[in-house]
Each structure stands twice: as structure tokens, then as C-alpha cells.
Amino acid sequence: MTTEAAPPPGSTGTPPAGPTAEEFVSVQQSPEFAELRRSYRSFAFPLTVAFIAWYLLYVLLSNYAGGFMGTKLFGNINVALVLGLAQFATTFLIAWLYARHAAARLDPRAAAIKARMEGSE
């Protein structure tokens, strides 16, 4: 039993050649690609730094401010539990924001670059 399908009629059976290295370099140096990269970095880097700072604050408070973290807010719920759960909420919030940002700003630009690259074959 073979797992390869026969090539479509009229086809030589060889895959089309991809873009050349020069074409990739040309696209990488284009203003359109630079704008795509700038848009990604201007979103991802600040949020990454902010989240790492937020996470380190939580860790430092847990290690050095035990009294504050143990402060009961209501019932058996203390500051440490609330801040720990906020870490998860923040992670999901950032993922959701990134998905929105990518769909609105990154994906259309990347699709245009991809279409141009594939059209140049």
C-alpha cells in the first residue's frame, strides 16, 4: 500500500520552486517588513517587560513581605491568593490582547508580504 498520491493531471510531479535567498533578503529589507516588525515589537516588548516586572514583584513580595501577603481580605482569602490568581488573569488578558493585535495589525501585513512573495515565483 502506497501513501503517496499521484500528481494531478498535467503536473510534472515536482513541487514549485520557492523564493530565492535574494528575494527573502529583499523583503526583509523592505519598509513594509520593517513596519510589520516594528508593530510586533512595539506591542510584544513592553508587555513582556511589564509582565516580568509584575511577576517578579509577586515573587519578591512572597519572599520578603510575608506579613503583607498573609493579610486576610475576607474569609480565608489573603493578598497572596488574590495576587497569585491575578497572575493567571494577567496571562490570559495578555494572550487575548495579543490575539486581537495580531488579527488587526500583524496578520494582514504578513499576508500581504506572503502573497507578494508567492506571487513572485
SS3 of residue 5 by DSSP: coil
pLDDT tens-digit map of 18-70: 778 888 888 889 899 999 999 999 999 999 999 999 999 999 999 999 999 99
pTM of the full structure? 0.74
Indicate the pLDDT class of residue 104, thresholds 50, 70 and 90. very high
- Residue located via cell numbers 488587526: 104
User: Residue 103 gets which letter from DSSP?
Assistant: I
Indicate if the pLDDT at residue 11 is higher than 70.
no
Supply the pLDDT for residue 4: 75
Supply the pLDDT for residue 27: 87
Helix (H) or strand (E) holding 71: none
Residue 25 burial class via C-beta count within 10 angstroms: exposed 0-12, middle 13-18, buried 19 and up = exposed
Indicate the pLDDT class of residue 14, thresholds 50, 70 and 90. low
The residue among 46, 45, 40, 42 whose CA lies nearest residue 105 is: 40
pLDDT tens-digit map of 43-52: 999 999 999 9
In sign, the C-alpha dihedral spanning 25, 30, 33, 38 is positive
Provide the grid cell at 56.
517578579
